[in-house]
């Protein structure tokens, strides 16, 4: 997609033509494997687009990197491209367009000797057939592409029903886990973090220039070791070893004893945590 003298012109044309049909849409999540490279100068390039292809000023673009491709982006300030941190996206990874290559990748061998026009027609027919199968109303269908390999494809209706039922169970589990974890934290901490996370999600691109990500901690944390990855506050280094955590918990227990705190068991809380982790590894 990159070109020497007019970088990203192909992608600009696709974006302009594709979104031109949805000018009334206010929020657009636009995923691209290298969104972190494509978006920085997008607004500047838009000014050079033909007037009839320019996107309306009311349209808010949210750049995202598909879930499978995201882990290879090791640079900092990439949280805003993470599909897992985008409010309203759920567990959608935006990789659906990539999954069809597993079924039609063999068409490359079958069409490589064709003329460009014939090859485009054959590919287009197979893409259309693949899409049609997803809209079948019932059952499972066996189909074959040009290379005579049969594949099992589940219909769209049955697939959505199965995923809906699974999503309900996952939602209940995660909601209860989140409720319990939130209840174990100080109210002022959770309110501060939620306020920051809401403002960060609503901020325009690039978010990194306006506010820090609530999901990334740099430096030291001020509340407690277990909250280091939750809060942007915190006096405990992030690179703690198991021995360092054990020492810190022991120190907190000694302070509690010296202040007249009640100790119910001879085994400290830190030792119980270590024993629990050891038992978990043995199972």
Above pLDDT 70, what percent of the chain? Answer: 78
The pLDDT score that the predictor gives to residue 7 is: 67
pLDDT in tens, 178-188: 999 888 888 88
Cα-flanking dihedrals φ and ψ of residue 8, to 5°? 65, 20
For residue 129, what are its two tokens? Answer: 């057939």
Q: CB-hemisphere CA count at 13 Å for 35?
A: 25
Q: What's the pLDDT band for 118 if we cut at 50, 70, 90?
A: very high
Note the pLDDT tens digit of each residue in 61-116.
899 999 888 888 876 778 899 988 888 888 888 888 787 777 777 888 889 899 99
pLDDT of residue 146: 38
**For the residues 118-139, what does the mean pLDDT come to?**
78
pLDDT confidence of residue 3: 52
Q: What angle, rounded to 10 degrees, do the helices at 269-282 and 242-258 form?
A: 150
Tens-digit pLDDT profile for residues 17-74:
889 888 888 889 889 998 988 988 888 888 888 888 888 888 888 999 998 888 888 7
Among 39, 121, 125, residue whose Cα is nearest residue 80: 39
Chain segment 211-233, per-residue pLDDT in tens:
888 887 665 544 443 444 443 33
Say how far apart CA 36 and CA 89 lie, in whole Å.
19
Per-residue confidence (pLDDT) for residue 63, from 0 to 100: 92
Bigger pLDDT: 217 or 129? 129
The pLDDT tens digits of the residues spanning 222-270 come to 444 344 444 333 444 445 667 777 777 778 888 878 887 777 777 777 7
CA distance 183 to 73: 34
pTM beyond 0.75, yes or no: no
């Amino acid at each position: 997609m990159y070109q020497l003298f007019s970088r990203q012109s192909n992608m600009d044309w696709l974006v302009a033509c594709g979104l031109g049909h949805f000018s009334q849409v206010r929020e657009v999540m636009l995923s691209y494997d290298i969104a972190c490279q494509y978006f920085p100068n997008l607004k500047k390039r838009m000014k050079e687009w033909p007037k009839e292809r320019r996107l309306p000023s009311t349209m808010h673009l949210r750049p995202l990197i598909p879930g499978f491709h995201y882990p290879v982006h090791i640079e900092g300030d990439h949280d805003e491209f993470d599909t897992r941190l985008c409010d309203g996206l759920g567990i959608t990874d935006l990789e659906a367009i990539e999954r069809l290559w597993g079924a039609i990748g063999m068409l490359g061998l079958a069409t490589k000797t064709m003329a460009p026009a014939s090859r485009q027609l054959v590919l287009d027919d197979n893409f259309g057939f693949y899409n049609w199968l997803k809209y079948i109303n019932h059952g499972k269908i066996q189909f074959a592409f040009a290379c005579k390999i049969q594949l099992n494809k589940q219909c769209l209706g049955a697939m959505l029903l199965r995923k809906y039922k699974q999503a309900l169970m996952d939602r209940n589990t995660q909601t209860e886990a989140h409720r319990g974890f939130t209840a174990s934290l100080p109210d002022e901490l959770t309110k501060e973090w939620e306020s920051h996370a809401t403002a960060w999600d609503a901020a325009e691109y690039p978010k990194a220039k306006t506010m820090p990500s609530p999901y990334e901690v740099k430096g030291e944390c001020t509340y407690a070791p277990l909250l280091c990855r939750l809060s942007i506050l915190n006096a405990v280094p992030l690179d703690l070893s198991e021995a360092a955590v054990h020492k810190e918990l022991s120190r907190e227990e000694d302070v509690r004893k010296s202040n007249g705190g009640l100790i119910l068991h001879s085994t400290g809380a830190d030792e119980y945590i270590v024993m629990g982790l050891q038992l978990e590894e043995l199972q």
